[in-house]
Amino acid sequence: MAVLRLFAQAREAAGTGRDLVDGATVDEVLSEARARYGPGFAALLGSCRVWLNGEQAAGADPVRADDEVAVMPPVSGGAA
């Protein structure tokens, strides 16, 4: 199982920052996460960047046991 790490709004939408998720590809891991965490998480996922072991990921990238898939929403803020 992959380690799924969720940051900022993705963590809030899922209710957790870390989980174990089964899937042979990045797309399969994210599909399982959508099913597990519901429509709020699924809606947010479209604007997020996804990383596999610290490298930007594509959906077809293979995922092995103990790989880390990280979901990072866009960063906002700054000085006003």
Q: Which CATH number fits the domain that encloses residue 15?
A: 3.10.20.30
pLDDT band per the 50, 70, 90 thresholds, residue 75: confident
pLDDT at 79: 55
- Structural domain contains residue 14: yes
- Cα Rg of the chain (Å, integer): 12
Average pLDDT of the chain to the nearest whole number = 94
- Structural domain contains residue 16: yes
User: Which residues are 20's β-sheet partners?
Assistant: 3
Boundaries of domain holding 11? 2-72
- Structural domain contains residue 78: no
Quote the percentage of the chain above a pLDDT of 70. 94
Token pair belonging to 19 = 């989980």
- Structural domain contains residue 77: no
Overall average pLDDT of the 48-73 stretch: 97
- Structural domain contains residue 66: yes
Token pair belonging to 1 = 């199982």
- Structural domain contains residue 79: no
| Cα(21)–Cα(34) distance, integer angstroms | 11
Number of domains in the chain: 1
Q: Residue 36's closest CA among 20, 51, 48, 24?
A: 20
The answer to whether residue 19 scores a pLDDT higher than 70 is yes
